[in-house]
């Protein structure tokens, strides 16, 4: 059995009345890109802070590379953090910032200069060493912060919503660069965000958090397509949700009574369970398919470039659908549709 590179074992953090982390356990392999995803107040930032050593957990244990670090201060841990607002040293040059960790560790002048130059080269800022922090752009500051954190060769790099302050283009570009950096350095990254697109673009392991607990964890494709809980399904992107109750169950198949009639689905849940049927917009079809979702008419459609985002009302009952239609489709309001989906795309999740 391999020992996890980062092992979070039954960590809880309680403040006076609030439980920020509730018995969280997570094992991460070396070289993983972990994204902690959740809404604000879900405990994702607290968890990152506990791993970095800035927050002391009420109970539980943290091990990194087989060593128990629970009692160690941030300075003693083999982790470095990329802070949300970069937290660069305003009175130092770019090189001064990047070299700080090495200087503290007693790395001598020439050796330090060489490593600083290599780190700046790594983040695409070769030759920027003499500049002041106020003379460079936001994107460049981010790279300086990255170089500063990576130059001390941490086992794990912690990233606290690092892309929040950047505009969309720069964010996409930085995502690519973060991934490239992570592959090149082979280090484990733990990245906190509330943006599910960012999570899917970066993660090798997505950890969805809610109310201090881990709701779901796995590769992004699996978490998006087969979320373990209703919260995860909702948080990972838009979907049509149909409330209902299981009226027949057996052999891994269920029949669910919904506003649009009885729908067949795959699930081991027992008869009588209140469930939510969830379908992603791209999986709702307008031709006859395996599972019939009934007749509907278009209520509104918005053009989004690659497709129309369409909201349709069911003819059978109070149920609306979110679906996508190609840009050349006729989408005038009131147009009738026949909706269906494939059985593997219909999720049956307990409410």
Partner 1 sequence: MGWPRRIGNALSGFYLTACYVFILLPVAVLILFSFQDGRLPVPPFHGPTLRWYVTAFTNDRMMAGLGNSLLVGLGSSALSVMLGFLAAYGLARYEFGGKKALQGTIILPLAVSYLLVGMGLLVTLSTVGLSPSLWIVVVGHVVINMPLAFAICLAQLGEHQRKVEWAARDLGASTFRVLTAVTMPMIAPALVAAFCLCFTLSWDEFIIAFLVTRFDVTLPVVIWTMLRGGLNPQTNAVGSFIFMCSILLLVAVELLLFRKRAE
The interface with partner 1 within residues 136-155 (CB under 8 A) comprises 148-149, 152
Q: Is 260 left (phi over 0), alpha (psi -120 to 50) or beta?
A: alpha
Return the number of the residue (37 or 151) whose C-beta is nearest partner 1. Answer: 151
The interface with partner 1 within residues 287-326 (CB under 8 A) comprises none
Binding mask 58-97 for partner 1 (x = CB under 8 A): ---------------xxxx--xxx-x-x-xxxxxx-----
Secondary structure (H, E, C), 284-329 = CECCCCCEEEEEEEEEEEEECCCCEEEEEEECCCCCEEEEEECCCC
Return the number of the residue (53 or 265) whose C-beta is nearest partner 1. Answer: 53
Q: How far is the CB of 231 from partner 1 (least distance, A)?
A: 30
Between CA 253 and CA 347, with CA 205 as vertex, the angle to 5 degrees is 20
Q: How far is the CB of 248 from partner 1 (least distance, A)?
A: 57
Under the binding rule (CB under 8 A), the answer on residue 105 touching partner 1 is: yes
The interface with partner 1 within residues 106-135 (CB under 8 A) comprises 134
Gap between the Cα atoms of 153 and 148, Å rounded: 10
What lies within 8 Å, CB to CB, of 222 at 6+ separation is: none
Q: How far is the CB of 316 from partner 1 (least distance, A)?
A: 54
Gap between the Cα atoms of 345 and 82, Å rounded: 38
Gap between the Cα atoms of 240 and 260, Å rounded: 13
Record the tokens describing residue 199, joined without a space. 């999570």
Phi, psi torsion values for 330, nearest 5 degrees: -85, 120
Pick the binder of partner 1 from 32, 35, 69, 100 (CB under 8 A): 100
Residue pair 204/34 in contact (Cβ under 8 Å)? The answer is: yes
Query: Which stretch, 47-55, 201-209, 237-245, 293-301, contacts partner 1 (CB under 8 A)?
Result: 47-55
Q: How far is the CB of 125 from partner 1 (least distance, A)?
A: 18
Q: How far is the CB of 280 from partner 1 (least distance, A)?
A: 38
Return the number of the residue (73 or 343) whose C-beta is nearest partner 1. Answer: 73
Query: Which stretch, 9-17, 101-109, 195-203, 225-233, contacts partner 1 (CB under 8 A)?
Result: 101-109
193: helix, strand or coil: strand
Pick the binder of partner 1 from 38, 101, 212, 281 (CB under 8 A): 101
Picking from 140, 260, 272, 280, the residue whose alpha carbon sits closest to that of residue 196 is 280
Binding site residues, partner 1, CB under 8 A: 52-54, 73-76, 79-81, 83, 85, 87-92, 100-101, 104-105, 134, 148-149, 152
């Amino acid at each position: 059995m391999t020992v996890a590179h980062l092992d979070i074992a039954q960590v809880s953090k309680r403040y006076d009345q609030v439980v920020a982390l509730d018995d969280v356990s997570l094992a991460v392999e070396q070289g993983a890109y972990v994204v902690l995803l959740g809404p604000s107040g879900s405990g994702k930032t607290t968890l990152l802070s506990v791993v970095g050593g800035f927050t002391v957990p009420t109970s539980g244990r943290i091990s990194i590379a087989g060593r128990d670090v629970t009692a160690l201060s941030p300075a003693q841990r083999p982790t470095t953090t990329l802070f949300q607002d970069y937290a660069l040293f305003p009175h130092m040059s770019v090189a001064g910032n990047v070299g700080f960790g090495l200087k503290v560790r007693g790395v001598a002048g020439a050796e330090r200069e060489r490593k600083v130059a290599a780190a700046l080269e790594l983040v695409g800022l070769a030759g920027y060493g003499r500049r002041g922090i106020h003379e460079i752009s936001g994107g460049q500051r981010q790279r300086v912060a990255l170089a500063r954190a990576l130059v001390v060769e941490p086992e794990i790099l912690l990233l606290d919503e690092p892309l929040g302050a950047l505009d969309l283009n720069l964010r996409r570009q930085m995502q690519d660069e973060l991934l490239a950096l992570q592959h090149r350095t082979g280090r484990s990254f733990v990245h906190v965000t509330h943006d599910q697109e960012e999570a899917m673009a970066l993660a090798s392991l997505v950890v969805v958090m809610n109310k201090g607990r881990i709701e779901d964890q796995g590769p992004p494709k699996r978490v998006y397509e087969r979320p373990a809980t209703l919260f995860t399904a909702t948080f990972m992107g838009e979907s049509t949700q149909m409330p209902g109750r299981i009226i027949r169950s057996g052999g891994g198949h269920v029949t669910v009574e919904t506003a649009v009639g009885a729908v067949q689905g795959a699930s081991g849940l027992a008869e009588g369970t209140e469930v939510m049927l969830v379908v992603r917009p791209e999986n709702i079809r307008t031709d006859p398919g395996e599972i019939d979702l009934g007749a509907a008419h278009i209520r509104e459609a918005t053009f989004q470039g690659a497709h129309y985002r369409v909201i349709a009302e069911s003819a059978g009952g109070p149920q609306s659908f979110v679906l996508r239609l190609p840009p050349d489709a006729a989408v005038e309001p009131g147009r009738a549709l026949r909706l269906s989906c494939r059985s593997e795309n219909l999720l049956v999740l307990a409410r």
